[in-house]
Amino acid sequence: MTNHGKNVLVLLLEWPTLFRQNGRFMATSFSPTLQDVERYRSLRALSMELNHRILKTIPRQALDQIGDALGIRRHGVLVFDSEDMTSVMTDCCLYDWYENGKNLVQRYAEAHPATPGTNESYLLQACLHAKYRILMVQSAVPGAGVHCQDVLNGGELFLMDLAMSQNVPSVHAALATRTIPLGEYWMTGGAGLPISSKKSILDALLRIEGESDKPPKGPGGVALPIARACLAAGAADYITYESAEASLRKPRREPRWPGFKRRRRY
C-alpha cells in the first residue's frame, strides 16, 4: 500500500483522538498577525481575478474528461446536483487536466508571464506549487484561519480562511481541498469538500490505489478520485471556501458551458 493509503488508514482507525497529546490539541507554531490577514485578503482578491482569466482557457476536452473523472458527466452532459459544484469542476480543470505534461495553470504562466516583483508574479508562482490535501482541523484562530493536520501528505500547516475560522463545525472536521503556499501559511485554491464520513475517505483511498475508475494521466490523479468520492458522498451540499470579502457563500451563477445541465431539486 502507498503512503497515501497508510496515512488514511491511520485516520480511519484513530479518527477521534489522532491529534491529541496530553489532553491538548497540537498546533502549528505560526501565529497570524493583522498584517498577515490583510496581505491574505489582497492576495485572495487577486487570486480570484487570476482564476477568472485562466478559466477562459479551459478547452471543451478538459470539461469532458474532468467531468468523467468526477462522475458528473452523463450521456455527454455535465450534471450538477448543486451549482456550487462548478467551483470543484473548474478547480480540477485548472490543476488536474494535463496536456503534454502541463496543466492549465502552468500553460497560462508560460504564455502570460507576470512582471517580476509584483503580487501577481508572486501569486502565480505560488499557484504553480499548489498541493491537494486532506486536512483535519485542530484548532481555529477567529478572524484568521485554522491549524490543520495534513492527513494525505503528512505534516501540519496553518490554513488562512476567514470564513472557516468563524464557522468551523468542530475540531477533527476533515476537508479535502487545494492549497496554495503563501509563505508561512496556505490558502485554499478552490472549493473545499467536507469529508463527512470515514466511508468517503475510504472510497478516496480505493480510487488512489487504482482499484476503481482511473483518472486522466498526470499528477492530478490524486486529487480527482478524492474529489469524486467526496461528491458521491454528498459533500457538494456543504462546500466551503473563502471569498475576498469573507462571505460564507458565493453568489450563485449559472455556468455557460456547452452541455451543462443543472439538476432540479424537488
How far is 19 from 23, CA to CA, in rounded Å?
10
pLDDT-above-90 percentage for the chain: 42
Count structural domains, the chain: 1
Beta carbons of 99 and 265 less than 8 angstroms apart? no
Q: Does 58 score more than 80 pLDDT?
A: yes
- Stated as kind and residue range, the H or E segment containing 54 is helix 34-55
* pTM beyond 0.85, yes or no: no
Q: Does 77 score more than 90 pLDDT?
A: no
Q: Does 171 score more than 90 pLDDT?
A: no
User: Average pLDDT of 104-122?
Assistant: 96
pLDDT tens column, 11-54 = 544 544 444 443 344 456 799 999 999 999 999 999 999 999 99
User: Average pLDDT of 90-107?
Assistant: 94
How far is 44 from 92, CA to CA, in rounded Å?
18
Residue 168: pLDDT band (50, 70, 90) is low
pLDDT, mean over the chain: 77
- Domain span including residue 53: 3-262
